[in-house]
């Protein structure tokens, strides 16, 4: 029996499913214990408070279809000088890595073995997010998917520090909010070995990133995936713990207008390329 067949037998075995389920459950308990051990409940939504802020429950339907969001998705690097709302931030975080199945706590983004090795941080600028009670305090927050909440880790507007760490890409400085996605490689490597470390974690990141792109587009917002930055600089700005590696910075902001393509334009493009003979 070759290695591929052995791997398939392992992945389909009841023992593997049990192990994967235990890993998911352990992740959920870890998120809950973090909150219970070191976090006090903060103020209402939209108020600057040290502690936990419960986000609005996300919507499960919207005005823009998946097809339209796919056709209008673009990397956007220019944002209006206006905040996003707490509801919009809530929706984007849920789309990125929120809970979409309540028995096992599965997420909106697929993950190899349902291990979910990624963490999502939110860098909020001064006046960058508005809620019913006013502006959310500027600072660095961590998203807690199982509670759909954010917890303030560091107060103050750190966008300039993040901009410097991101090799002075101006959209990181000008966006009212940036998501920073980090990975705990060991979580996946413990199950899948080196293949998990060098391949599966990065697949997970791609799934999450596209979710953010599509949700931002559906809300009339723009974003761009930034991978060029100094890792240690980002770690310092966010105060990341050991064992977490930053992989993406995704600025999010309001845009003047979204890109649009018509079905006729698409048909003309395909017709033009179909007229060119295929190379032998």
- Return all residues near 78 (Cβ < 8 A) that are at least 6 apart: 171, 174, 222, 255, 256
Q: Of 57-61, 93-97, 129-133, 218-222, give the lowest mean pLDDT range.
A: 129-133
Q: How many angstroms separate the CA atoms of 47 and 121, rounded? A: 18
**pLDDT tens digits, one per residue of 148-185:** 999 999 999 999 999 999 999 999 999 999 999 999 99
Tokens found for residue 148: 């759909």
Output the six-digit token pair for 241: 């713990």
Q: Rounded to whole angstroms, how far apart are CA atoms 168 and 80?
A: 19
Task: List, edge to edge, every strand of the sheet that includes 245-254.
Answer: 52-54, 149-155, 139-144, 118-124, 177-183, 245-254, 221-223
* Strands 106-107 vs 99-101: parallel, antiparallel or unpaired: antiparallel
**In this structure, are strands 134-135 and 149-155 parallel, antiparallel, or unpaired?**
unpaired
pLDDT of residue 37: 34
Average pLDDT (61-66) is 96
The CA distance from 258 to 59, in Å, is 21
Go through the domains of the chain in sequence order and give each one's CATH number: 3-274 (3.40.109.10)
CA-based nearest residue to 138, from 153, 122, 126: 126
Confidence at 280, pLDDT banded by 50, 70, 90: confident
Q: Residue 125 contacts by C-beta under 8 Å, 6 or more apart in sequence?
A: 138, 157, 159, 175, 176, 177
Q: Where are the alpha helices (DSSP H) in the chain?
A: 3-12, 14-38, 66-72, 86-97, 159-165, 170-174, 185-195, 201-218, 231-238, 263-274
Which of 119, 98, 96 lies closest to 243 in space, CA to CA? 119
**Choice between 151 and 17, residue whose per-residue pLDDT is larger:** 151
> Tokens 């979580």 belong to which residue?
187
């Amino acid at each position: 029996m070759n290695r591929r067949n052995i791997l398939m037998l392992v992945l389909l075995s009841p023992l593997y499913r049990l192990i994967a389920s235990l890993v998911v459950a352990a992740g959920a308990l870890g998120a809950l214990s973090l909150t219970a051990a070191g976090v006090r409940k903060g103020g209402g939504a939209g108020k600057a408070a040290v502690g936990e802020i419960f986000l609005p429950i996300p919507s499960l339907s919207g005005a823009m279809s998946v097809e339209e969001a796919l056709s209008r998705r673009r990397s956007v690097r220019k944002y209006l000088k206006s905040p996003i709302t707490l509801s919009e931030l809530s929706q984007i975080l849920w789309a990125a890595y929120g809970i979409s199945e309540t028995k096992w706590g599965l997420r909106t983004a697929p993950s190899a073995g349902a291990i979910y090795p990624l963490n999502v941080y939110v860098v909020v600028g001064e006046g960058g997010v508005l809620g019913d009670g006013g502006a959310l305090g500027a600072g660095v927050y961590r998203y807690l998917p199982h509670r759909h909440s954010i917890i303030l880790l560091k107060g103050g507007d750190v966008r300039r520090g993040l901009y410097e760490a991101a090799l002075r890409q101006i959209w990181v400085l000008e966006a009212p909010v940036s998501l920073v996605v980090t990975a705990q490689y060991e979580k996946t490597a413990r199950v899948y070995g080196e293949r998990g470390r060098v391949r599966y974690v990065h697949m997970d990141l791609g799934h999450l990133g596209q979710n953010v792109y599509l949700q931002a587009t559906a809300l009339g917002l723009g974003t761009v995936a930034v991978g060029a930055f100094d890792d240690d600089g980002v770690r310092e700005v966010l105060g990341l713990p050991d064992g977490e590696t930053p992989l993406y910075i995704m600025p999010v902001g309001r845009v003047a207008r979204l890109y649009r393509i018509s079905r006729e334009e698409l048909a003309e493009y395909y017709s033009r390329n179909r007229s060119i003979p295929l190379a032998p």
